[in-house]
Amino acid sequence: MPLKTPLIALLLMSIANTVSAAEILTPAKQAYITDFESGKVLFSKNAEAQMKPASMAKIMTVFIVFQRIAEGSLRLDDKFFVSEKAWRKGGSRSFVEVESKVSVSDLLHGVIVQSGNDAAIVLAEGIAGTEDAFAEEMNFWAKKLGMTNTNFRNATGWPDPELTTTAKDLNILTTELLGRFPVDTYPDLYPIFAKKEFTYNQIKQPNRNPLVYGTEGADGLKTGHTDESGYGLVGSAQRDGQRVVMVLNGMDSMKQRSSESRRLIDLMFREFKSYKFFDKDQPVDRANVWLGKAPTVDLVLDAPLKMVLSRKDRQAMEISLQWLDPVPAPIMKGDQIGTLVVSLPDTVIKYPLRAAQNVEELGVFNRIGAAVKYLVFGAAESSKVAQ
């Protein structure tokens, strides 16, 4: 039985003329950019170096509020009391009034759009009683989500010697928020991040995230700045069904943050594409069957074959199929018949090819006839899948 190793034609074959990969450089001190669906790392720079999150820490504050809403223990129209501590907090503000009661919806808008420290503290105290207790809940979730290099100290990202995180950890948090609270299920939550302005107490403030002003597909998330951290941004954009999650920090100015975040988002979508090669249960090829009631059996994968690839990797990619042909009957649906091999410049990935149907063994007399026919004429050529 020969080992079949056909290369799949057309779309899946490697292309002789390769294209050099784009050289990605950034003035950001820390950066971590991923494809949302696959988790593939598109770019990384000092991603696990300790850094200060500044107001990007508010993403965890928002995450906890979203989680309470999803659980049903909190509603958008619930109201929280504004303490003097919250009212007096400096930095960016939503201008909530002391001893007033403010709806969770308005407070979320205040945190997300206006980056209000006062609104964040009101939410923290309303949920956990004190901001310190809320910080404990923030760290509980950080540990649960796998943010192993993060320690929160407050709901705002206000400077604290023990406050620390990494670009990778903020990416983990953002990816979880996007996946846990999809827009079709929670239409009143994540879309707040894309709002360009919010007015509270007759004071209108713009969204500080530069991506929401004209960057294609951008819909979040949060900026941050302190003298210690520099200028940072957690952003996300979606184009043609592909979403990119980006964390940048340590830039020198608002202008640099704006231009660099836009440039890198556009570059990621130019250089990395999501390719879908086969659906689940779509025949990849067909194997000849030895002494079976059917002459061939379809070969399928366990799951859709989708990959996010750089231009360079896509140009150099090869996909081949391997199996011993013909395959002896009986064959049960789900039996591994062979292997699909994806060869990339830096790695080789293998996927099992399984039988899509049962193929029963021929009766004794038919087996004799089929064996004689095979010895005289050989096996029929396996067909290629048109792409």
Least confident span in 35-39, 172-176, 373-377: 373-377
Q: What is the mean pLDDT of the chain?
A: 91
Q: Is the CB of residue 33 less than 8 Å from the CB of residue 44? A: yes
Q: What is the mean pLDDT of residues 350-372?
A: 81
Beta-sheet pairing, 336-344 with 318-324: antiparallel
In the numeric block, the tokens 């029963």 are attached to 360
Q: State the amino acid at position 119 in one-letter form.
A: A
Is a pLDDT exceeding 80 seen at residue 140?
A: yes
Residue 258 falls in the annotated catalytic set: no
Q: Is the CB of residue 48 less than 8 Å from the CB of residue 60? A: no
Whether residue 330 has a cis bond before it, omega within 30° of 0? yes
Query: How far, in whole angstroms, is CA 317 from its chain's centroid?
Result: 23
Q: Is 384 helix (H, G, I), strand (E, B) or coil?
A: coil
- Burial state string for 224-259 with b = 16 or more CB within 10 A and e = fewer than 16: bbbeebbbbbbbbbeeeebbbbbbbbbbeeeebbbe
Note the pLDDT of residue 363. 75
Is a pLDDT exceeding 50 seen at residue 381?
A: no
Categorize the per-residue pLDDT at 19 as very low, low, confident or very high, splitting at 50, 70 and 90.
very low
Distance CA 22, CA 88 (A): 48
Catalytic residue among 58, 89, 168, 222: 58
Q: What is the mean pLDDT of residues 99-120?
A: 98
Portion of the chain with pLDDT greater than 90, in percent = 86
Note the pLDDT of residue 20. 45
Note the pLDDT of residue 376. 55
Catalytic residue among 4, 29, 52, 55: 55
Note the pLDDT of residue 255. 97
Between 365 and 99, whose confidence is greater?
Answer: 99
Residue 43's H or E segment, with its range, is strand 41-45
Q: What is the mean pLDDT of residues 309-330?
A: 94
Is a pLDDT exceeding 60 seen at residue 55?
A: yes
Least confident span in 17-26, 310-319, 373-382: 373-382
State the pTM of this model. 0.86
Starting at the edge strand found earlier in the chain, the sheet holding 285-290 runs 3-4, 318-324, 336-344, 347-355, 296-300, 285-290, 327-328
Residue 84: exposure state from Cβ atoms within 10 A (0-12, 13-18, ≥19): exposed
List, as one string, the DSSP characters of 213-251.
Answer: TT-TTEEEEEEEEETTTEEEEEEEEEETTEEEEEEEEEE
* Alpha-helical segments (H) within the chain: 58-71, 84-88, 104-112, 117-128, 131-145, 167-180, 254-271, 311-316, 364-377
Distance CA 108, CA 106 (A): 5
Note the pLDDT of residue 195. 98
In the numeric block, the tokens 């062979």 are attached to 338
Note the pLDDT of residue 185. 97
Q: What is the mean pLDDT of residues 184-202?
A: 97
HEC-encoded secondary structure of 49-106: CCECCHHHHHHHHHHHHHHHHHHCCCCCCCEEECCHHHHHCCCCCCCCCCCCEEEHHH
Is a pLDDT exceeding 50 seen at residue 6?
A: no
Residue 55 falls in the annotated catalytic set: yes
Is a pLDDT exceeding 80 seen at residue 11?
A: no
Q: Is the CB of residue 28 less than 8 Å from the CB of residue 249? A: yes
What is the tens place of the pLDDT at every residue in 146-168? 999 999 999 999 999 999 999 99
Collect all residues with Cβ–Cβ distance below 8 Å to 73 and sequence separation of at least 6.
none
Is a pLDDT exceeding 50 seen at residue 126?
A: yes
Categorize the per-residue pLDDT at 23 as very low, low, confident or very high, splitting at 50, 70 and 90.
confident
Q: What is the mean pLDDT of residues 256-262?
A: 98
Residue 306 falls in the annotated catalytic set: no
Note the pLDDT of residue 22. 65
Q: What is the mean pLDDT of residues 98-102?
A: 97
Least confident span in 13-22, 178-187, 270-279: 13-22
CA 32, 38, 42, 48 dihedral sign is: positive
- Phi first, then psi: give them for residue 205, nearest 5 degrees: -130, 140
End-to-end CA distance of the chain: 28
Instruction: Please state, in angstroms and as integers, the Cα–Cα distance from residue 224 to each residue in 55, 78, 248, 259, following that order.
Output: 4, 28, 10, 15
Categorize the per-residue pLDDT at 362 as very low, low, confident or very high, splitting at 50, 70 and 90.
confident
Distance CA 145, CA 162 (A): 20
Categorize the per-residue pLDDT at 13 as very low, low, confident or very high, splitting at 50, 70 and 90.
very low
Distance CA 66, CA 68 (A): 5
In the numeric block, the tokens 């420290």 are attached to 117
Note the pLDDT of residue 275. 94
- Phi first, then psi: give them for residue 50, nearest 5 degrees: -65, 140
Q: Is the CB of residue 236 less than 8 Å from the CB of residue 37? A: no
